[in-house]
Structure 1
Amino acid sequence: MEVAPLTPPGAVADVPPYVLALEDKVSTYLPAEQVARIRRAFIVGAEAHEGQTRKSGEPYITHPVAVATILADLGLDAETIIAAILHDTLEDTRLERAELEGEFGTTVAELVDGVTKLDKMRFTSRAEADAESFRKMLLAMARDLRVILIKLSDRLHNMRTLGAKDAESRRRIARETLEIYAPIAQRLGMNKFKAELQDLGFRAMYPDRHRVISERIRAALGNRREAMARIETALEGRLAADHIPGRAISRIKSPWSIYSKMRNEHKSFAQLMDVYGFRVVTDSAMHCYQALGAVHGLYKPVDSRFKDFIAIPKANGYQSLHTVLLGPFGAPIEIQIRTAEMDSVAERGVAAHWAYKTGSSSSNSAQARAREWLSALADSQANTPSAAEFLENVKIDLFPDEVYLFTPRGEIFSLPRHATALDFAYAVHTDVGDHAVAARVDKKLVPLRTKLISGQQVEIITAPSAVPNPAWLESVVTGKARTAIRQYLKHLQHEDAVDFGHRMLDRALDARGTSLDAIPATTLQRYLDEAKLKRLEELLADIALGNRMPDQVATQLVAALGGGRAPVVADAGPAEKIRITGAERGVLTFGNCCHPLPGDDIVGYLSSGKGIVVHRVECPNMVEFRKSPERCVAIEWDRDVSGDYRAQLRIEVLNRPGVLATVAAAIAAAESNIENVEYIERDTSAATLLFAIEVRSRTHLAEVMRRVRRTGVVSGVYRHPL
Structure 2
Amino acid sequence: MIAVDDLIGLVRSYNPKTDEALIRDAYAFACEMHAGQTRHSGEPYVSHPVAVAHVLAEQRLDDATIVTALLHDTIEDTKAGYAEVAERFGTEVADLVDGVTKLTNLQLSSTETQQAENFRKLFMAMSKDLRVILVKLADRLHNMRTIKAMRPDKQVKKARETMDIFAPLAGRMGMQWMREELEDLAFRVLNPEARASIIRRFLTLQKESGDIIDRITKDMRHELEKAGIEAEVLGRAKKPYSIWRKMQEKEMGFSRLSDIYGFRVITRSEADCYAVLGAIHRRWRAVPGRFKDYISQPKSNGYRSIHTTVSGRDGKRVEVQIRTRQMHDVAEAGVAAHWSYRDGVRAENPFAVDPAKWISSLTEQFDAEEDHDEFLEAVKLEMYADKVFCFTPKGDVVKLPRGATPIDFAYAIHTRIGNACVGAKVDGMRVPLWTRLKNGQSVEVITADGQTPQATWLEIATTGKAKAAIRRALRELDRDRYIKLGRELARSAFEHVGKKATDKALETAARNLRFKEADEILARLGSAELTASQVLNAVYPDLAPEQGEAIAQERAVIGLASDQSFERARCCRPLPGERIVGITFRGRGVVVHAIDCESLSAYEDQPDRWLDLHWHAGRHPAVYDVALDVTIGNDAGVLGRVCTLIGERKANISNLTFIDRKPDFYRLLVEVELRNAEQLHSLMSALAAESDVAAVERHREPVRAAASVQA
Q: Give, in angstroms, the shift of residue 226 of structure 1.
A: 4.2
Closer, same or farther: CA 461–337 of 1 in aligned 2, 3 Å = same
Counterpart residue type for residue 41 of structure 1: A
Name 1:139's counterpart in structure 2.
Answer: 124
Whole-angstrom distance in 2 between the partners of 1:117 and 1:390: 21
Name 1:405's counterpart in structure 2.
Answer: 390
Preserved CA contact (<8 Å) 1:299 1:327: yes
Deviates more, 1:206-215 or 1:48-57: 206-215
Is 1:192 the counterpart of 2:184? The answer is: no
Please, which of 134, 137, 159 is the counterpart of residue 152 of structure 1? Answer: 137
Please, which of 486, 489, 500 is the counterpart of residue 471 of structure 2? Answer: 486
- What is the RMSD of the two structures over their aligned residues, measured on CA atoms? 3.4
Preserved CA contact (<8 Å) 1:383 1:487: no
Preserved CA contact (<8 Å) 1:126 1:180: no
Please, which of 51, 61, 75 is the counterpart of residue 60 of structure 2? Answer: 75
Name 1:40's counterpart in structure 2.
Answer: 25
Preserved CA contact (<8 Å) 2:2 2:47: no
Closer, same or farther: CA 381–457 of 1 in aligned 2, 3 Å = closer
Name 1:367's counterpart in structure 2.
Answer: 353
- SS of the aligned residue for 1:448 comes to coil
Name 2:443's counterpart in structure 1.
Answer: 458
Preserved CA contact (<8 Å) 1:86 1:112: yes
Whole-angstrom distance in 1 between the partners of 2:304 and 2:8: 33
Closer, same or farther: CA 377–277 of 1 in aligned 2, 3 Å = closer
Whole-angstrom distance in 2 between the partners of 1:297 and 1:78: 47
Deviates more, 1:270-279 or 1:381-390: 381-390
Counterpart residue type for residue 157 of structure 2: R
Closer, same or farther: CA 128–498 of 1 in aligned 2, 3 Å = closer
Name 1:435's counterpart in structure 2.
Answer: 420
- SS of the aligned residue for 2:171 comes to helix
Q: Give, in angstroms, the shift of residue 374 of structure 1.
A: 2.5
Please, which of 86, 98, 116 is the counterpart of residue 101 of structure 1? Answer: 86
Please, which of 234, 237, 240 is the counterpart of residue 255 of structure 1? Answer: 240
Q: Give, in angstroms, the shift of residue 452 of structure 1.
A: 1.9
Name 2:201's counterpart in structure 1.
Answer: 216
**TM, length-normalised to structure 2:** 0.66
Closer, same or farther: CA 499–161 of 1 in aligned 2, 3 Å = closer
Name 2:219's counterpart in structure 1.
Answer: 234
Q: Which has the higher contact order (CA 8 A, sep 6+)?
A: 2
Please, which of 55, 75, 87 is the counterpart of residue 72 of structure 2? Answer: 87
1:524-546, CA deviations, whole angstroms, 9 ceiling, x for partnerless residues?
xxxx99x999xxxxxxx978779
1:225-267, CA deviations, whole angstroms, 9 ceiling, x for partnerless residues?
4443232222112212221110211111111111111111111
Q: Give, in angstroms, the shift of residue 378 of structure 1.
A: 3.4
Closer, same or farther: CA 438–366 of 1 in aligned 2, 3 Å = farther
**TM, length-normalised to structure 1:** 0.65
- SS of the aligned residue for 1:273 comes to coil
Is 1:27 the counterpart of 2:26? The answer is: no
- SS of the aligned residue for 2:233 comes to strand
Please, which of 101, 106, 109 is the counterpart of residue 116 of structure 1? Answer: 101
Q: Give, in angstroms, the shift of residue 172 of structure 1.
A: 1.2
Please, which of 42, 46, 49 is the counterpart of residue 57 of structure 1? Answer: 42
1:132-187, CA deviations, whole angstroms, 9 ceiling, x for partnerless residues?
12221122112211011000000000011111012111111111111110000000
Q: Give, in angstroms, the shift of residue 126 of structure 1.
A: 9.3
Name 1:314's counterpart in structure 2.
Answer: 299
1:657-712, CA deviations, whole angstroms, 9 ceiling, x for partnerless residues?
xxxxxxxxxxxxxxxxxxxxxxxxxxxxxxxxxxxxxxxxxxxxxxxxxxxxxxxx
Preserved CA contact (<8 Å) 1:418 1:477: yes
Closer, same or farther: CA 129–532 of 1 in aligned 2, 3 Å = closer
- SS of the aligned residue for 2:425 comes to strand
Closer, same or farther: CA 275–405 of 1 in aligned 2, 3 Å = same
Is 1:383 the counterpart of 2:404? The answer is: no
Counterpart residue type for residue 35 of structure 2: E
Q: Give, in angstroms, the shift of residue 272 of structure 1.
A: 1.1
Q: Give, in angstroms, the shift of residue 291 of structure 1.
A: 0.8
Counterpart residue type for residue 440 of structure 1: K
- SS of the aligned residue for 2:42 comes to coil
Closer, same or farther: CA 323–129 of 1 in aligned 2, 3 Å = farther
Is 1:279 the counterpart of 2:271? The answer is: no
Name 2:623's counterpart in structure 1.
Answer: none
Identity %: 43
Preserved CA contact (<8 Å) 2:107 2:115: yes
Whole-angstrom distance in 2 between the partners of 1:261 and 1:589: 39
Counterpart residue type for residue 313 of structure 2: P
Preserved CA contact (<8 Å) 1:67 1:154: yes
Whole-angstrom distance in 1 between the partners of 2:177 and 2:111: 22
Whole-angstrom distance in 2 between the partners of 1:221 and 1:107: 51
Is 1:289 the counterpart of 2:266? The answer is: no
Whole-angstrom distance in 1 between the partners of 2:111 and 2:315: 40
Is 1:167 the counterpart of 2:152? The answer is: yes
Structure 1 residue ranges without an equivalent (≥5) = 1-15, 502-527, 534-540, 548-584, 591-605, 611-722
Q: Give, in angstroms, the shift of residue 354 of structure 1.
A: 2.0
Is 1:396 the counterpart of 2:381? The answer is: yes
Counterpart residue type for residue 251 of structure 1: R
Structure 2 residue ranges without an equivalent (≥5) = 487-502, 509-515, 537-711
Closer, same or farther: CA 248–464 of 1 in aligned 2, 3 Å = same
Closer, same or farther: CA 248–354 of 1 in aligned 2, 3 Å = same
Deviates more, 1:189-198 or 1:290-299: 290-299
Task: Count residues with an aligned counterpart.
Answer: 507
Counterpart residue type for residue 204 of structure 2: A
Whole-angstrom distance in 2 between the partners of 1:205 and 1:500: 47
Counterpart residue type for residue 71 of structure 1: L
Q: Give, in angstroms, the shift of residue 377 of structure 1.
A: 4.3
Whole-angstrom distance in 1 between the partners of 2:58 and 2:40: 25
Q: Give, in angstroms, the shift of residue 361 of structure 1.
A: 8.4
Closer, same or farther: CA 33–233 of 1 in aligned 2, 3 Å = closer
Whole-angstrom distance in 2 between the partners of 1:245 and 1:449: 46
Q: Which has the greater radius of gyration?
A: 1
Name 1:130's counterpart in structure 2.
Answer: 115
Name 1:564's counterpart in structure 2.
Answer: none
Closer, same or farther: CA 495–419 of 1 in aligned 2, 3 Å = same
Preserved CA contact (<8 Å) 2:12 2:18: no
Whole-angstrom distance in 2 between the partners of 1:608 and 1:171: 31
